[in-house]
Amino acid sequence: MAGIRLAGLTKAFGASRAVDGVSLDIPDGEFVVLVGPSGCGKTTTLNMIAGLEAPTAGDVYIGGERVTDQEPRDRQLGMVFQSLALFPHMSVFDNIAFPLRIRKTPPAEVRARVEAVAETVRVALLLGKRPATLSGGEAQRVALARTIVMRPRAFLMDEPLSSLDARLRVEMRTELKRLHAALRATFVYVTHDQAEAMTMADRIVVMQCGVIQQVGPPLAVYADPVNHFVAGFFGVPPMNFVDGALAADAGRLAFRAAGVTIVLDRPAEAVTARDAVLGVRPEHVRLRDGTGGWPATVGLLEPLGDETIVFLDYGGPTSIVAKVDPDEKIAVGDHRRFMFDRGKLLFFDGTTGERILR
């Protein structure tokens, strides 16, 4: 078991930089999730850790040792691929035994270790089968078994759940978390799915355009995003954004946008007047009867059972989305007033997208 450290890791393909100066310290035993939209450089980062791609600049350290120039086979890492990469011409047993046989493990030990691992990930009955005959979940567990059996220094996973259907994906999420708890190994997990990142990570690393945007525990990243991109990436439905401007209003700071004006408990000097974007999560939008807040018309309802998503047309360019109690008496076309939870408002610079007024 070992921690992983990335120092200024950069990968350029011609003129474009897929990964640009990524530095990250992953302590031994941590479950880190690299998350971001496709093409953000997360898989390239993982491949550089594995040694499958050579960095243009920067270094990779595993267990304190510099491995930048080592071949993948010398790094002793376990990797699960998006396609799972089970060898179609080998039985499940031979697939799991593959890394052991390469290291010339004695046959008796190979058998014992393969059977032990197969037992833990519940594929013991499949050992004689071919990968093509396995279900998605079974193939998934075989791929895990093949990685666990070699007792790697750390686990790398590249969107391993993306080929599964939604229900199985949720199950495997739990199973992976249990596995991590049992193995106490370092996990570096790549996904574009914010729900996977939120549910599994000890720490989330949000990437965009090859650059790390934010690193932190899931709830911290969710509640306290550093910029417009990170704020919008997490949460279903996503955060509401209202384009407007911050300006002084009788000595205090005020946010003004079409249909919405909010006077803040901040002195006007807190920031200079500028274009700004207000961000507020759907669960922080409240519906009200009577007075206060701003008027809106209910444009659309999405009942989910445990909550109902309400689209409010308030006169701005897009709707405001609110999460409300499923018992709330509400119908499309209703005229309601809405307001925001004061302490939960986020403001972003209209040009740079950086968070302001933290």
Q: Which residues bind another protein (CB under 8 A)?
A: 47, 50-52, 71-73, 75-79, 81-83, 85, 87-89, 98-99, 102-103, 146, 150, 156
Query: In angstroms, what is the minimal distance from the CB of 144 to another protein?
Result: 13
Would you give the DSSP letter of residue 84?
-
Task: Check: CB of residue 298 under 8 Å from CB of residue 329.
Answer: no
Query: How does strand 355-356 pair with strand 308-313?
Result: unpaired
Task: Check: CB of residue 33 under 8 Å from CB of residue 198.
Answer: no
Give the C-alpha separation, 293 to 158, whole Å.
Answer: 45
Query: In angstroms, what is the minimal distance from the CB of 100 to another protein?
Result: 9
Query: In angstroms, what is the minimal distance from the CB of 99 to another protein?
Result: 4
* Residue among 13 and 87 whose Cβ is closer to another protein: 87
* Residue among 100 and 298 whose Cβ is closer to another protein: 100
* Residue among 47 and 208 whose Cβ is closer to another protein: 47
* Residue among 4 and 324 whose Cβ is closer to another protein: 4
* Residue among 88 and 317 whose Cβ is closer to another protein: 88
Beta carbons within 8 Å of 253's beta carbon, 6+ residues apart? 246, 247, 263, 264, 266, 267, 268, 270, 271, 357
Query: In angstroms, what is the minimal distance from the CB of 151 to another protein?
Result: 12
Find the distance separating the first CA and the last CA of the chain, reported in whole Å. Answer: 38
Query: In angstroms, what is the minimal distance from the CB of 95 to another protein?
Result: 10
Query: How does strand 186-191 pair with strand 31-35?
Result: parallel
- What is the C-alpha R_g of the chain? 25
